[in-house]
Structure 1
Amino acid sequence: MDQFVESRCSQDSPMSSNSSSGGFQDTWAERKSVLQCNKYMLLNKEGCDVTFLVGANSTPIKAHKYVLASRSPVFFAMFLGPAKESSDEIIVPDIEDLVFEKFLRYVYFEDVKILDGDNVLHVLYAAKKYSMKGLESKCREFLVQHLNTENVCVILESSHTFGNGIMEEKCLQHILRNGDRVLQSPSFSDLCRKCVKTIISSNDLEADEAVVFKAAVKWAGAVCCRKCLTPIDRNIRKALGDILFEIRFPIMQLSFFADKVASSNILIQKEKIALYEYLCRSDTSDAKLEIPFNMEYRKNKSFLVCKRFNHLSAICDWENAGRKNSIAFSCTRAIWMHGIMMYESSSLDACENSVIVRNELGEVMYNSDEKRNTRREFAGGKMYNLFFGERLKIQPLKFYTISVKSMGPKSYHGEGGKRYVSCGPFRFEFRDSCTEKVPLLSTLGQPVNVQETTQSTGQIPGIIFSSWL
């Protein structure tokens, strides 16, 4: 294709007697596409019949009503509709001149090279304002392709400001999945209050609560500075407002709470005492109403998982017709136990599970039949998580028994179970449970033992826990 010439040449006179075709000489428009012609007309300002006064400085930018009306329903209504503009000057105060010029390049000749990390959100705003659906799509594709930890907060804030709900949701999902890194990025402190609260209040935020606390304090300090206030603890608490109560102080490690939280004056004395009592209790069920802070665990990030099997069964043949699966375990360190893992069926149909946890004296610590608050979440790898409604304190070097009564379709099971499993500094030991006897079934008058969960095979493939200290 001929290289398009953006500037006029002296020989481009529209008429010449030396032409070989009807007495006309070839012009710049000969053998050019519609888009190439549009490009020439825009860049050389030929035949313009409308002027836009753009941005804070009302910079004049000339264009053509016909081209604009043919590309955008908004411009069509503006120039050709029943209530068309009577003036040939249009004021556009909400778009800067450089952005508007790039926007016109797409309108006239679909130039997508206009987009970069600095202008894409502003171009997207222009595309939405003038209902240029194709450009909207290009902008969103660009943002999705270039979304990363460093720019996601900037894009979120701009999407929120411009009312771009689709892009705002994509940014939030990226932040929630990469919580630890995003919360520590410099741009997190530039977010508005609504965006920060949405992030910190989400149970899907995959971030350590220590990181959440530090990020919230840093953000509140930045808010104080923007308001010309000294970022002392009293002002930081005021800047946080109700966001403070979305920080999960009740699930923090006791050591971090003592060293970093309680040593400051962001919390009042009454709150510190209540949290100390809660964090140090082995049974926290009676303390819940005393704590004004959000107590729910965030998705996955706050937990460790001890998995005890080497591999998965090849077939889905584990009976779950009301039978009980039991295993005994101990840990070398004090931990909080939050739940267990179980195996899925081949159809992914859920089993109904009743969970009982007993201490070494046989006393019931947790019974889901009574409390009815076990929560099921997909975990991947043919497994799902069963979260308890409360955490259980597991003392070091003492044996506890988990019993699960399952009713539902056949499921997969684990094989090659390990007696000892290390998870960092935590060393678990698993043993066969003797608290639940597996019933004998009769087949043609002959008693047959049902499959039994043991240290080496069966159900309950993992323990979901966190450090107590």
Structure 2
Amino acid sequence: MEAKSDWQIGKSLSDRMKYMLDNQLMCDVTFHVGIDKTPIKAHKYMLASSSPVFYSMFEGPLAEKGTVEIADMKPEYFNMILLFLYTDKITVDSNNIRSLLYGSEKYMLQLLKDECDAFLASNVDIDHACVVLQIAHDFNMEDLKTKALHFIFENGSRILDSKDFLNLSAECLTLLLNSDKFRCEEEHIYQQMVQWGQHKCKDKSLPATDENVRECLGDLLYLIRFPVMKPKYFTEEISCKSVLTATEIVKVFQHFNDKTTDIFPSKKRISKIKIERCQLNKKSSWTCSGLDDCIDFKTSFNAKLSVVLLFGSTTYSGTDNVKINIARNSVILSTTQTVLTSSAGHEIYKIKLNPPVHVLANNQYTIQVNITGQSTFKGKEYIRNVTTEEGFSVNFLPSSLPSTNSTSISNGQIQGLFFDL
């Protein structure tokens, strides 16, 4: 292809290199790419300067002569990689990420792999965390895998319901099911693992019988913690099916009656428990003028207080300054200061404590909240003692510190709490 006479003038290095690549000027190597052997020309010098693999390919006694066959990549992705080597520019997306990562590993292109890593790291959310985890596992991206696992552990139940959970490999599922930090109910884990097994049956063109689901689950079955399930659920939903053998079912029932099983793990996972001390009262509001709203509480188990639930504003959209102290015997254990961006009518906000507070069973603690801002919703039907299905109970008590904004065990701010068990 004939070049324009002035294509070099006033252009950056990357623009000039791109022009030479696009117009195939002075190319000295031809690749035959993909199953159709699409010819793609390039410059040995540029490739060798970017990749030790390309350098070895073109230099030395075993250097490639003539055309180079690349059967394991599609032409469109190989062209994207070439363009990156010439210009340092690339757009990574969900459609090309695997092919670009494959190319970055094959040709030892660390800068390209870094671009892919940055794209994936920015997409660790409910909808994409499973995909990120699987890719990070497949391409040995350990820091990214750790980040994805942490997010998945923190958001266990929602991750189980995400569309890509069923596409996780057995190796990735092993990482999840082995962890005590996977925050979700064991019953939910079982339900989704059965769906995963049914999905595998479909892939293998097998009927989704209990026996085939068990076969597809394989060793993953023994990572499900049946002994920590609610006995009623196990009886009604599992014992009458054939996912477990008769012997395994008997072993779990024996565990429910204080005879420890050696077949399934019996340690309860960390779970996040929500405690609500009142219902929302939309017909009334609560003034927040910089005075303290305080309440005391005791728990029946050792736990970690991680979130305080506060009422949102009835009519105000804007920012409020929020300060939360957690104290014991009037000694402050944790202080969280934040700016709450509220929307009018948004009922309840989660304020994460930084740092969270480890609370000891049957010890009294104080929550002291100071909000400088507009009036908020308030509660109704306040409860002094809340007990969950897990047997975890919280007693709310009059504050040990002055509650100068009048919050009490029967009125005011602080709608609820989240605990990690």
**TM-score with structure 2 length normalisation?**
0.68
- Note the alpha carbon deviations across 1:226-248, whole angstroms, 9 max, x for none: 22222111111122122112111
C-alpha contact 2:48 2:54 (8 A) present in aligned 1: yes
Alignment of 1:151-190 (within 5 A): 151-190=128-167
Aligned partners of 1:156 and 1:136: how far apart in 2? Answer: 16
Equivalent in the alignment of 1:238: 215
Equivalent in the alignment of 2:42: 63
Note the C-alpha offset of 1:102. Answer: 0.7
Alignment of 1:350-389 (within 5 A): 383-384=357-358
C-alpha contact 1:419 1:455 (8 A) present in aligned 2: no
Tell me whether 1:91 sits opposite 2:69 in the alignment. Answer: yes
Letter in 2 for 1:97: P
Aligned partners of 1:108 and 1:270: how far apart in 2? Answer: 64
The 1:102/1:427 distance shift into structure 2, 3 A limit, reads: closer
Tell me whether 1:126 sits opposite 2:121 in the alignment. Answer: no
The 1:84/1:346 distance shift into structure 2, 3 A limit, reads: farther
Aligned partners of 2:75 and 2:85: how far apart in 1? Answer: 15
Note the C-alpha offset of 1:125. Answer: 2.3
C-alpha contact 2:33 2:75 (8 A) present in aligned 1: yes
Aligned match of 1:292 in 259, 263, 270?
Answer: 263
Aligned partners of 1:227 and 1:147: how far apart in 2? Answer: 30
Note the C-alpha offset of 1:217. Answer: 0.7
- Describe the SS at the equivalent of 2:199: helix
The 1:119/1:238 distance shift into structure 2, 3 A limit, reads: same
- Describe the SS at the equivalent of 1:263: coil
Aligned partners of 1:297 and 1:141: how far apart in 2? Answer: 35
Aligned partners of 1:291 and 1:463: how far apart in 2? Answer: 33
The 1:382/1:311 distance shift into structure 2, 3 A limit, reads: farther
Equivalent in the alignment of 2:378: none
- Note the alpha carbon deviations across 1:431-452, whole angstroms, 9 max, x for none: 9xxxxxxxxxxxxxxxxxxxxx
Equivalent in the alignment of 1:49: 28
Equivalent in the alignment of 1:136: 113
- Note the alpha carbon deviations across 1:415-435, whole angstroms, 9 max, x for none: 48999233578896859xxxx
Tell me whether 1:253 sits opposite 2:230 in the alignment. Answer: yes
Aligned partners of 2:249 and 2:301: how far apart in 1? Answer: 23
Aligned partners of 1:148 and 1:8: how far apart in 2? Answer: 49
C-alpha contact 1:121 1:155 (8 A) present in aligned 2: no
Query: Which protein shows a greater Rg?
Result: 1
Aligned partners of 2:70 and 2:249: how far apart in 1? Answer: 54
Aligned partners of 2:16 and 2:393: how far apart in 1? Answer: 75
Note the C-alpha offset of 1:158. Answer: 3.2
- Greater Cα shift, 157-166 or 226-235: 157-166
Matched length: 339
Note the C-alpha offset of 1:29. Answer: 1.2
Letter in 1 for 2:384: Y
- Describe the SS at the equivalent of 1:221: helix
**TM-score with structure 1 length normalisation?**
0.62
Aligned match of 1:420 in 384, 391, 411?
Answer: 384
5+ residue gaps, structure 1: 1-6, 14-26, 314-326, 330-336, 349-378, 387-401, 405-412, 432-453
Aligned partners of 1:41 and 1:463: how far apart in 2? Answer: 60
Equivalent in the alignment of 1:111: 89
Aligned partners of 2:215 and 2:383: how far apart in 1? Answer: 51
Note the C-alpha offset of 1:346. Answer: 7.3
Aligned partners of 2:395 and 2:204: how far apart in 1? Answer: 57
Note the C-alpha offset of 1:216. Answer: 0.8
C-alpha contact 1:121 1:159 (8 A) present in aligned 2: no
Letter in 1 for 2:119: F
The 1:155/1:382 distance shift into structure 2, 3 A limit, reads: closer
Equivalent in the alignment of 2:408: none
C-alpha contact 2:101 2:139 (8 A) present in aligned 1: no
The 1:206/1:83 distance shift into structure 2, 3 A limit, reads: farther
C-alpha contact 1:73 1:130 (8 A) present in aligned 2: yes
Note the C-alpha offset of 1:200. Answer: 1.6
The 1:424/1:166 distance shift into structure 2, 3 A limit, reads: closer
- Note the alpha carbon deviations across 1:12-35, whole angstroms, 9 max, x for none: 35xxxxxxxxxxxxx211121111
C-alpha contact 2:30 2:39 (8 A) present in aligned 1: yes
- Note the alpha carbon deviations across 1:323-351, whole angstroms, 9 max, x for none: xxxx8x9xxxxxxx653569788799xxx
The 1:33/1:245 distance shift into structure 2, 3 A limit, reads: same
- Note the alpha carbon deviations across 1:152-194, whole angstroms, 9 max, x for none: 3233333333333343333333322222122222322222221
Alignment of 1:185-264 (within 5 A): 185-264=162-241
- Describe the SS at the equivalent of 1:60: strand
Letter in 2 for 1:422: V
Note the C-alpha offset of 1:45. Answer: 1.2
C-alpha contact 1:310 1:414 (8 A) present in aligned 2: no
5+ residue gaps, structure 2: 278-292, 306-326, 335-352, 369-381, 402-416
Identity among equivalent positions (%) equals 27
The 1:304/1:121 distance shift into structure 2, 3 A limit, reads: same
C-alpha contact 1:180 1:208 (8 A) present in aligned 2: yes
Tell me whether 1:75 sits opposite 2:46 in the alignment. Answer: no
Equivalent in the alignment of 1:392: none
C-alpha contact 2:296 2:399 (8 A) present in aligned 1: no
Letter in 2 for 1:164: M
